[in-house]
Copies of this chain bind each other. A is one copy, B any other.
């Protein structure tokens, strides 16, 4: 993955895997410097390549970001499916599992997560991108649908359940990624606290949903 960053040492004329290398570099740059500070030239520089090289693979900056976003939606769907597969297989267990997967993915791949949900210029008509986005959302919706059927929710309540579940994991991921964690004490082990909180959130929300949605006026 970091195979050919920085110029020099044994370069041949052809890079060999510039496409992948540029994506990896772009992700690192986004994670480090945020939305600003991300430039195509800087990506090229870090990949040890001339500023014109990326155009051969991505056309322009939107193309590169769209490639990252596609990886993002696919990875998000994978992570949610993996989370569901780890669960006990019950509708609630699977709901908990996709929540776990969602948070795990966001924290493991901040750049992909941000590119998906921030308002970056993306080529949303690109077929692989559109397919990946639909797959990720479909995974969430299907899992909620099963849990909602089990809980006997009407369509309005089902939609509210989806929005609450999604909002909760999405909000938590964003707060952590944006460093908005005043609830973690100064001396505390940050990593451990985040993991424990994620676990509590995720164990909580399917039960809370079913309970709360059942009996509200």
| Cα–Cα, bound, A46→B200 (Å) | 48
Stretch in contact with the other chain, from A2-10, A16-24, A49-57, A177-185? A177-185
A159 interface hit (Cβ, 8 Å) = yes
A171 touches which of B141, B167, B213 (Cβ 8 Å): B167
Decide if B162 touches A166 in the complex (CB within 8 Å).
Answer: no
Q: What is the total number of residues of chain A having a CB less than 8 Å from a CB of chain B?
A: 41
A interface SS class: helix
On chain B, the residues within 8 Å of A34 by CB distance are 119
Decide if A212 touches B201 in the complex (CB within 8 Å).
Answer: no
A184-217: contact bitstring with B at CB < 8 Å (1 yes, 0 no)? 0000000000000100110111011101110010
On chain B, the residues within 8 Å of A179 by CB distance are 119
Decide if A212 touches B216 in the complex (CB within 8 Å).
Answer: no
| Cα–Cα, bound, A35→B119 (Å) | 8
8 of the cross-chain contacts (CB-CB < 8 Å) are A34-B119, A163-B172, A163-B200, A163-B201, A164-B204, A166-B175, A167-B170, A170-B175
A-B complex: 6 closest residue pairs judged by Cβ atoms = A171-B171, A208-B212, A167-B171, A208-B208, A170-B171, A167-B172
